[in-house]
Structure 1
Amino acid sequence: MAPDMSLDRILQEITTTTNVAALNQTLKNSLPKESRDTILSSALASGQDPLSILDARQNTLGALYILSARLNTPNAAVPPEFIKLFCARFLPEQARLAPERVTLLAKGIVKYAVSNGVLSWAIGPLLDLLMRYPPDTSYLTTIHTIFLNTCVVAQQPSAALPVLANPIANVVPALSDITYNDNLMYHYLGGMALAMLKRWPEAEEFFEICVTAPGAVPAALQLEALKKLRLVQLISRGETTSLPKYAHAGLPRIFKNTPYSDLVSLYPQNIDKISALVEKEKQLFGTEKNLGLIMQAIDRAPRWTLRKLTATYVALGLADIARLVGIPSEDEVRALLLSMIEAGDISAQISASGTVTFSDPPPQFTREEVDAVLRSAQTQSALLEGLDLDMARSREFISKAVKGQDGASMWGPGQEEELYAMSGGAGAWAEEAMFA
């Protein structure tokens, strides 16, 4: 194919070739790189739209090149119906030949939605693209971060739940042009979406995966994830927990030099000091989009102060609890107690005279819960066994393991990831997302 070939000739190549891999090399290498997308976005000599001729399934690769080019070329006409049709029907085996075009397509879908003033429109096509492109939902792709960021910024975090329900177990660079930061950003954004839905245990898990990802030095995004992890723990537990031993030792030291560390050390009893700290650092907390989480933690502080009383006292009057917790009304204390009893946070009884008797909550497990845990354990065991076998067969892993014994690092971000700054990263992507 000559560099000056028209779109008519390109379309003929797409519709007549039987060697899709060769077609990919032609579209990728034979067209001038600086004008490839301009050529692919041009019109046929007859004025007919080439996308009206191509079949989204049979001609997946050609349609992918043309559609991704149009979506990223200014003023190029793009039929929204074809975007939806392509994402719902494309042939994954063909699309995987050009992972960089799939990434370009996903970004272009977001640009198209933004230009039309309806970002949420992109969620449906992106979800179809994400669920159909990889061999199965355990594979991480560049589409994941694009999709999650769209859900968070569009204030539709629940749309991400079908994706977040599938743990990531496979990272294959050849499948999708992913980088070290894609894993960090996926779990960071997943934690944000789950926190927006107040699904605290799941949000904590996603933030922790981001925080504990291996690397030679902590990434800036991991520090941001640690800040949110600590706030989520305060909301859901009333206290923070130690990071796993495999987390980078430098992260806790960096975190200790932030106002978030002071907030954690004061929580939950010192509400007056916490309020003063929040007022002093309000601009910082707001800029980092953590003010909403902090306010939720403050609102729940009396709950955790009350729970700490159960470790010291067997019985207390409502008036005594109100004084110790800092709630002015006995009726508010009664309502708080009832809500905590209902949620299973404490085990207590309130007498007619207003005396609250605390007791240890009896363990309660349903047969369904036990069966679900056993099934999950069996599934994870089989998955880990498969991963272990795959890793043992990997020459690259064995080579790196041998080098690792000599002191070389097996894993770690590249220089670009080490210098990653939140001002241009996921925090900036999702800076419009607020926690109610």
Structure 2
Amino acid sequence: MVSTRSGSPSRHPPPPPTPTAGTIPLSGGGGAASPSASTSAPSQPSLSLNNLLGIIGTTECSIPQARQQLLTTLATVAGAKDGEVVLSSFLPDQQGKFTIDPLLSLDPSLHCLGYLYILTARLSHPFQGCHNGYLHQLIRYCQLFCSRCDPAQMAFAPPARVNTLSHRFLALAKYLSRPSDATPYLLDLLKVWSRDNLTNLTAVHQDFVEACVVTKNYAWASEVTSVQLVSIYKEFYALTYLDFLRYNYLAGIASSATKDWEAAEGFFESVVSAPATAASWIQIAAYKKLVLVQLIKDGKTTALPKYVSASVTRAIKQHAQTYKIFADSFEAGYGKGGKLVGSADKEIFVKDKNHGLVLQLVDTALSRQILKLTKTYEKLLVPEMAKLLGLEGAETEKVQRELTDEIFRMVSTSTLSASLSYLPSPTHPVPIVTFLPPSERYVGPETIHRLELLNQQASDLNDRVWHEDRRVGKSVKYLQKAAKEESSWGGGAGGAMGGGGGGVMDEDLMESFGVGSGTGGGGSRKTYDDNF
């Protein structure tokens, strides 16, 4: 659990954006802002930053009507011309110089919504050209907000503002080469924003996991990635299609770093199999890592699910052919007594940031070959085993000793079930390996407890799927699509509900993330470079 951090930031020099305490025209009536108000009507009162601070400081956000009025005012100010500039500006001192920081008069535990608007307005400005004193102070403001923001007010915060805070906070920390300054506070923000329910995907998920990946704090990332996602509320959390891809991709990287290969395989497969009308580079990057993770985990690759988008499949064949050839060679036993990776392939793996996974795969190659021998032999002399494995210098004592050490390591980690004895020899004892059937192990009451917990989770998920299926099945949108799909298949029910096409559910998922149907929908979608 991350401890709460306290302390108020001190005053700092003004930022590069023009520090003027401007005014925003509002419609009359009790200070409530109207989004449709004309900004040119001379009869409208104007709201200065100083007056806005007064409204923020005196509004009792525990009263729904007052809270809504404040949100309306903040949204109107932010949406007006130069509204973000006004929100990010400073107040004049007695000499008329804009040096007074409005955030110094606000407390995120009391004035959470106003603080959020002002802070995100500042974060929205480019960092280039700002002096370090201002940027470091901005980091401290982000830390203060994330650790002390009021959960009750955050429940009504605009999701776009929260996402901006999360994204730009991490971007600022990376810009200053201090990503570790953001990591624990992003976890604070994630817990508040998700209402302590990490099963609901938010945009903050990906930022926290990315911070852990950048700082190589992979074990910390597992606090989030180990929680299975259950729900995706696109509108409530202002999620995009790329948020889903990036979170799963980053979670796969973090899981790979902790050698949780099963979890990593699941995350990367989720990225590759996401519905798409045009393949994203992040999906191709995930496929490359998926191939290597499967080889490490099982010694072979698994065919992609049939529901993977045709555009993704084509892109993989075009841009990841090297990985397919490498996997086929590995599975065929390439590397016996020779190099597993050629120099040309190595350049590709290094460029794709996958050389570390390849090195781990090389380390598992010997143990994989030893396990294959257990299917044919019950007992082997170590010198004979070295020859069967095709090890270079199999007849030398050094290679045989290294092979014996590897067998000891595999037995100690329960990878191999075997015993080692020695055959007397005139020169030196010859080790003999006897392969044993895998032993069943009972690790204690915690195993039963874990099984019960998993069984309960499976039951809960089954109930959830059942209710969601009924909800979708009764929706007018789904029934219209089902009828249209059925008619397009000449009245066959299979095309609408399954077997024949499966297009209805794919379209629902794509539209829920804003991925348009048809070839034109994905053309304008952003792609994601493989920076990890």
CA contact (8 A) 1:141 1:175 kept: no
Instruction: Give SS of 2:182's match.
Output: helix
> Corresponding residue for 1:433?
none
Q: Per the alignment, do residues 39 and 274 of structure 1 end up closer, same or farther by CA in structure 2, a change over 3 Å counting?
A: farther
> Corresponding residue for 1:384?
462
Separation in 1 of the partners of 2:68 and 2:462?
Answer: 33
Separation in 2 of the partners of 1:278 and 1:8?
Answer: 66
CA contact (8 A) 1:263 1:274 kept: no
> Corresponding residue for 1:53?
105
Instruction: Give SS of 1:85's match.
Output: helix
Deviates more, 1:147-156 or 1:216-225: 216-225
Higher helix share: 1
Equivalent residue for 2:416, pick from 331, 346, 349: 346
> Corresponding residue for 1:14?
56
What is the deviation of 1:145?
1.5
Separation in 1 of the partners of 2:277 and 2:475?
Answer: 18
Instruction: Give SS of 2:434's match.
Output: strand
Equivalent residue for 1:362, pick from 439, 443, 450: 439
Q: Note the 1:49-128 alignment, pairs <5 A.
A: 49-73=101-125, 74=127, 75=130, 78-95=137-154, 96-128=156-188
Separation in 2 of the partners of 1:166 and 1:143?
Answer: 14
Deviates more, 1:234-243 or 1:290-299: 234-243
Instruction: Give SS of 2:236's match.
Output: coil
> Corresponding residue for 1:425?
528
CA contact (8 A) 1:119 1:150 kept: yes
Separation in 1 of the partners of 2:81 and 2:185?
Answer: 28
Amino acid in structure 2 at the alignment position of 1:127: L
> Corresponding residue for 2:96?
none
What is the deviation of 1:265?
0.9
What is the deviation of 1:389?
1.9
What is the deviation of 1:292?
1.4
Separation in 2 of the partners of 1:34 and 1:51?
Answer: 22
Q: Per the alignment, do residues 148 and 228 of structure 1 end up closer, same or farther by CA in structure 2, a change over 3 Å counting?
A: same
Q: Per the alignment, do residues 417 and 102 of structure 1 end up closer, same or farther by CA in structure 2, a change over 3 Å counting?
A: farther
CA contact (8 A) 1:347 1:359 kept: yes
Q: Per the alignment, do residues 208 and 363 of structure 1 end up closer, same or farther by CA in structure 2, a change over 3 Å counting?
A: farther
Separation in 2 of the partners of 1:318 and 1:21?
Answer: 77
Instruction: Give SS of 1:316's match.
Output: strand
Q: Note the 1:18-37 alignment, pairs <5 A.
A: 18=60, 19-33=66-80, 35-37=82-84
Is 1:230 matched up with 2:291? yes
Equivalent residue for 1:131, pick from 176, 191, 195: 191
> 1:296-340 CA distances to partner (integer Å, 9 max, x unpaired)?
212221110111111122222101111122334111111111111
What is the deviation of 1:397?
4.9
Deviates more, 1:222-231 or 1:211-220: 211-220
Amino acid in structure 2 at the alignment position of 1:261: K
Is 1:41 matched up with 2:88? yes
CA contact (8 A) 2:245 2:271 kept: yes
In structure 2, the gaps of 5 or more residues are: 1-23, 26-38, 40-45, 61-65, 94-98, 394-398, 424-430, 486-503
Q: Note the 1:312-323 alignment, pairs <5 A.
A: 312-323=376-387
Q: Per the alignment, do residues 278 and 189 of structure 1 end up closer, same or farther by CA in structure 2, a change over 3 Å counting?
A: farther
> 1:148-191 CA distances to partner (integer Å, 9 max, x unpaired)?
22221222222212111211111112222211121111111001
Q: Note the 1:112-261 alignment, pairs <5 A.
A: 112-135=172-195, 136-216=197-277, 218-248=279-309, 251=312, 255=316, 258-261=321-324
Q: Per the alignment, do residues 400 and 65 of structure 1 end up closer, same or farther by CA in structure 2, a change over 3 Å counting?
A: same
CA contact (8 A) 2:143 2:182 kept: no
Instruction: Give SS of 1:94's match.
Output: helix
CA contact (8 A) 1:220 1:421 kept: no
Separation in 1 of the partners of 2:336 and 2:370?
Answer: 17
Deviates more, 1:158-167 or 1:26-35: 26-35
Q: Note the 1:268-417 alignment, pairs <5 A.
A: 269-271=333-335, 275=339, 278-327=342-391, 328=393, 329-353=399-423, 354-366=431-443, 367-390=445-468, 392-393=470-471, 397=475, 399-407=477-485, 408=504, 409-412=507-510, 414=515
Separation in 1 of the partners of 2:298 and 2:524?
Answer: 31
RMSD between superposed Cα atoms in Å:
2.8
Instruction: Give SS of 2:229's match.
Output: coil
CA contact (8 A) 2:281 2:529 kept: no
Separation in 2 of the partners of 1:126 and 1:417?
Answer: 33
Deviates more, 1:249-258 or 1:329-338: 249-258
What is the deviation of 1:72?
2.8
What is the deviation of 1:280?
1.7
Separation in 2 of the partners of 1:421 and 1:301?
Answer: 40
Larger radius of gyration: 2
Instruction: Give SS of 2:405's match.
Output: helix
Instruction: Give SS of 2:418's match.
Output: strand
Q: Per the alignment, do residues 237 and 32 of structure 1 end up closer, same or farther by CA in structure 2, a change over 3 Å counting?
A: closer
CA contact (8 A) 2:299 2:368 kept: yes
In structure 1, the gaps of 5 or more residues are: 431-436
What is the deviation of 1:396?
8.4
Deviates more, 1:145-154 or 1:77-86: 77-86
Q: Per the alignment, do residues 320 and 369 of structure 1 end up closer, same or farther by CA in structure 2, a change over 3 Å counting?
A: same
Q: Per the alignment, do residues 368 and 58 of structure 1 end up closer, same or farther by CA in structure 2, a change over 3 Å counting?
A: same
CA contact (8 A) 2:77 2:83 kept: no
Separation in 2 of the partners of 1:359 and 1:251?
Answer: 44
CA contact (8 A) 2:173 2:181 kept: yes
Separation in 2 of the partners of 1:222 and 1:417?
Answer: 17
Separation in 1 of the partners of 2:56 and 2:256?
Answer: 46
> 1:70-101 CA distances to partner (integer Å, 9 max, x unpaired)?
22335356354432221122123433431111
* Higher RCO structure (Cα 8 Å, ≥6 apart): 1
Amino acid in structure 2 at the alignment position of 1:86: F
CA contact (8 A) 2:276 2:311 kept: no
What is the deviation of 1:142?
1.1
